Amino acid sequence: PAATPGRTDETADPIVGVVMGSDSDWSVMEAAADALAEFDVPFEVEVLSAHRTPERMLAYGKIARERGIRVIIAGAGGAAHLPGMLASVTTLPVVGVPVPLSRLDGLDSLLSIVQMPAGVPVATVSIGGARNAGLLAVKILATSDDALDAKLAAFAEDLAEQVEKKNDALHESIAAKASK
């Protein structure tokens, strides 16, 4: 995937791989890419199917670290095997995103990803929680990157400020309604 387009600095080599079983998962998984881009973390995006391209999938996982990848984010739905199978062939942390399908609200995806056997963990986030998967990758990278950690601290402050603003907006909206 030499020319894999990321939406960040094209000259930087990707250090996070965002992979998914089908391009239809992109509507969910794009939020992971967006979070990485917000933190200027270079990433690549790949469609890799555990069930339709099993060998290419394993090959991706096996050479990911030597290619410079540090964290893999994998999204899949239903009998979701992609995150767990990647975790079985790499020493890298794999973040799993349960993609909800049209039935069962993603409960099957969640259980297929989180209930991994001893020895092969997958760092599972919420159903459809691709944005959190991106943020978790940033947190992992920040364990050895103080600059990135500082960005995370600023991000947390910003989250808190947004709550304040929402509180003010709600109060204004209630007051406006009451004064009518």
Site for a second copy in 11-40 (CB under 8 A): 21-23, 26
CB 88 within 8 A of CB 66: no
How many residues interact with a second copy (rule CB under 8 A)? 95
Task: List C-alpha distances in Å: 77 to 18, 97, 141, 164.
Answer: 15, 8, 26, 36
Write the DSSP string, 42-68: -EEEEE--TTTSHHHHHHHHHHHTTTT
> Which residues between 119 and 138 bind a second copy (CB under 8 A)?
119-129, 131-133, 135-136
The two structure tokens encoding residue 174? 């209630």
Residues 30-89 that bind a second copy (CB under 8 A): 45-56, 58, 65, 70-71, 77-81, 84-85, 87-89
Cβ neighbors of 71 (< 8 A, separation 6 or more) are: 15, 16, 17, 92, 93, 94, 95, 137, 140, 141
First to last CA, the chain: 60
Q: For residue 32, how many other CB atoms are within 10 A of its CB? A: 29
